[in-house]
Amino acid sequence: MSVNERPDRISSASGMNTPVALCRSLSLWNSLTIGFATVSPVAGLYAIIGVQTVVTGGGWFSALALCLVMQLLVATVYAELSSQIPIAGGAYKWARQLGGATTGTYAGAIYVSSTIAMLTTTAYTGGIWLAIFFGSGGETGVSLVIWGAVFMLICTVLNLVHVSIFKFLISLGVYAEIVGSFGVALLLFLFFRQHEFSELFARLGTGTAPNPTAAFLAALAISGWAFIGFDACSTIAEETHEPKRMVPRAIFFSLCMVGSVVLFNSAALTLSFNRDTLVHTSAASDPVTPVIVDNFGAWAETPFLAIVMVAFLACGSSMVQYTSRIVFSMAREGSMPIVLSRVTAAGAPHNAVLFTVSLATLGLLVGLNDEAVATVLAFGTGGLYAMFAMTTGVGLFTRLTGRWDPSLGQLKLGAWGLVINTAAFLWSVFEFANIAWPRPYATSPDAPCWQLWAVPLVLGGILGVTTLYLLTAKPAKIDLLMHPRDSEPAQK
């Protein structure tokens, strides 16, 4: 098969022809911007800063920096895998091709559920900012769920319109973050600092956490949210030109860019905070805008909120695209209803998009509990770190057993590949356990047991349902393998 040839159809279990080709319409810049928008410095930092300050009291910058360094190791493993297996579904497809159909089914169940939970979290937090932008700040419960649903509707429409409009919004979101968010942080850092640099590491343990050690571990767990989503570049690999070369670059550089902006913005905001603002911060409030208004004046509030909203919408739209491609990939191989693998004449999986946003919108109902914001964050991060652990674990096992030869990929790390893979796996397991650990002081003192143990309970339920599915059903095994010399999916 030549590089320019692609299969347009495969045969389903019923013998019917089903369209499977996605349109290869994304450049390196498009892939990079989608990765950047999905990780999103604004959505990542502004969604957690309130929870961080409440739980730790301050001094969480070092946890944020450590989390970024370790996530760069995970991103390196993802880049290595994508340089050899660039196909829709990313980590799901790698688990299936390297570990077998059963491993792939478990990976797909975890991946889809966790990315949908992450999308729900983004819609909920984005809905908060949408409400603030339209002058409805301070609302809780049903109102914020409705705002989250409106946010989700906008992201859905942007995924159903022509791809050129989608790419324009994502690029606009990146420009808004770099010019607006980073520019504002730079001005705060240069002209409006209220504290010495030691403030970045001070006050750890003065929040709801019982001691500095507990505060640091909680900060590390919460920081995990800021550095997920870089794998979006791998799930859209089948739509990217020259994916074996471009996707690994997009994965790594998007996280590097986002990480740099997140660290700088968090430092600038922390050094510019008025301590009285922090005292009255709640987990669902907006502690950022008051800093902007206090330093720049009331005129800056509306432009700043507009920048944040564009960034959140770009992030949410990217997450819809990235999650729907996992759904599409699973459906194409028989692990989900085959109708979800159908694409339009333009090569877009609209059925998978609608399925994704429907489930994520239902997840917004969790937000009816005003005290569940930290739990919603855990829903959005715990499953992804379980997936990071599974992907790096499958990679490490198959590397050691000789079932995967990384030297066949475009990215060649040599002996360092094994070291990085091992460290990434150990970190992912640790961070998953850290996120899943029950912390009453991060939710509420009287939180019910199910809320404290939400991550292991939900993942346990997902694994249980997946096991029943494998035992009782006989899913069609349709694998799209990668020809070693091609960048296109080849039919088995």
Q: Is residue 22 part of a domain?
A: no
Strand 17-19 relative to strand 480-482, pairing? unpaired
List per-block mean pLDDT (blocks of 10 residues) for the chain, which spans 492 residues.
37 42 76 83 77 87 96 96 89 91 90 88 85 73 86 93 85 81 85 89 89 95 89 88 90 90 90 68 61 80 85 89 90 86 84 93 76 63 91 95 90 92 97 92 77 86 91 63 42 37
pLDDT score of 3: 33
Two tokens, residue 171: 């690029």
Total structural domains in the chain? 1
* DSSP structural state of residue 179: I
Q: Which amino acid is at 240?
A: T
pLDDT score of 21: 60
Backbone dihedral angles phi then psi of residue 17, each to the nearest 5 degrees = -80, 135
Secondary structure (DSSP) of 281-330:
--TTS--SHHHHHHHH-GGGHHHHHHHHHHHHHHHHHHHHHHHHHHHHHH
Q: Is residue 214 part of a domain?
A: yes
Q: Is residue 489 part of a domain?
A: no
Q: Is residue 12 part of a domain?
A: no
Q: Is residue 436 part of a domain?
A: yes
CA 81 to chain centre: 18
C-beta separation of 252 from 233 below 8 A = no
- SS3 of 470-487: HHHCCCCCCCEEECCCCC
Q: Which amino acid is at 202?
A: A
Specify the CATH number for the domain of residue 185.
Answer: 1.20.1740.10
C-beta separation of 253 from 79 below 8 A = no
56 is in which domain, residue-wise? 27-474
Q: Which amino acid is at 372?
A: A
Q: Is residue 480 part of a domain?
A: no
pTM for the full model? 0.85
Q: Is residue 430 part of a domain?
A: yes
Q: Is residue 488 part of a domain?
A: no
